[in-house]
Amino acid sequence: MRVDLEQQAGIVKTKTEIQPIDFVWINGQVTSWEEATIPIMSHALHYGTGVFEGIRGYGTNDNLLLFRLHDHFVRLLESARILDLECKYSEIELENACLELIRSNKLKEDCYIRPIIFVGFSGINLGFINYPINTAIIAFPFKTYFGKPGLDVCVSSWTRTYDPVTPPMAKICGNYVNSVFAKRDAAKNGYDEAIMLNSVGKVSEGTGENIFVVKNGMLITPSLGSSILGGLTRDTIIYLSGRNRIRVIEREVARSELYTADEIFLTGTAAGIAPVISVDRRPVGNGKVGPVTERLAKAYFDLVSGRDDFGHSDWITKVY
């Protein structure tokens, strides 16, 4: 099992930069990477008016398996509705565009797919009435988000955004400036990631991941009302926990529970299952990856790599 965790954590050295690819999909057409440009005065660049998704592809047996492709595009369009962006493409059309793009690039290795819907160039009015709405999909080789098998994290001084400010349930481009503040502070202070608290001081999530706490063999995770994104990896882990007879409780989580947890791990499309071994320099449990985390990480790895569908074969899309 340690091998699988290390594969997810990126023990093998990889470049952190995005590797340019041959083609991207934008506004209904596959075009070259070099030609896929946008005007410098695009509204989304200045005001963050866009929504996006992250989708993972896993290379296996001369094929590429996409995990929860349909669900990601459903959430993308839900985010667009929350931001009041009118996308002219349906979930199915976007799924087919994604497959067309990957095949055009002949991708068969582990990759990351970034669909984005954003307000284009017209003017500087914040309301963007009658401004063009662009849709694009980019796919590129990608191994892992974190570069180590166990993370040292801190609790951030920055508060997670919440509904009266901007809705955290939508993957809005501008929302992530909130996460950027927390992530950069954490990195500058020698941490791998930050845990953000919500407006009432309860645990929310990481800067780009949901969080699970293991206590007495049970999983505890902040509820949807805790200013979190309803993560698809989070949802997958809750499902896999049921299959593995592990009880899951969704509720408010106090900061102090992070210091007394037996295990902690983060979940996200880019991150996969990322074990946390310390919080604010305090070791989590014995300071090593725990058995519940290992068990669920193995189940997740088996699922996304096609080794076992755990009753959800509809979550896996074969590209070729």
Domain shared by 88 and 117, yes or no: yes
Mean pLDDT value of segment 248-255? 98
106, 143, 148, 171: the active-site residue: 171
Q: Both 171 and 293 in a single domain?
A: yes
pLDDT of residue 190 exceeding 50, the answer is yes
Inter-residue contact 75 to 51 (CB < 8 Å): no
Domain check: are 155 and 292 in the same one?
yes
Specify the number of domains making up the chain: 2
pLDDT tens readout for residues 26-58: 999 999 999 999 999 999 999 999 999 999 999
CB 192 within 8 A of CB 206: no
Tokens linked to 139 = 């796919």
Q: Does some domain include residue 296? A: yes
Identify whether residues 172 and 253 lie together within a single domain.
Answer: yes
Q: Is residue 71 part of a domain?
A: yes
Residue 12 — very low, low, confident or very high, per pLDDT cuts 50/70/90?
very low
* Confidence check: pLDDT of 2 > 50: no
273-307: pLDDT as tens digits? 999 999 999 999 999 999 999 999 999 999 999 99
The answer to whether position 311 is within a domain reads no
207/186 same-domain check: yes
| Buried b / exposed e along 239-266 (16+ C-beta atoms within 10 A) | bbbeeeebeeebebbeeeebeebbbbbb
Is 171 a residue of the active site?
A: yes
Task: Give the residue-averaged pLDDT of 116-132.
Answer: 97
Q: How far is CA 138 from CA 21, 63, 150, in A?
A: 9, 19, 29
Same domain, 118 and 177: no
pLDDT (mean) for 3-22: 59
CATH code of residue 230:
3.20.10.10
Answer yes or no: do 184 and 68 share one domain.
no
pTM above 0.85, yes or no: yes
Same-domain pairing of 292 and 164 = yes
What confidence score (pLDDT) does residue 233 get?
A: 98
Residue-number span of the structural domain to which 285 is assigned: 151-304
pLDDT category, 18, cuts 50, 70, 90? confident
Co-location of 156 and 243 in the same domain: yes
Q: Predicted confidence band at 4 (pLDDT cuts at 50, 70, 90)?
A: low
Same domain, 105 and 162: no
Please tell me whether residue 65 adopts helix, strand or coil conformation.
strand
CATH number of the structural domain spanning residue 86: 3.30.470.10
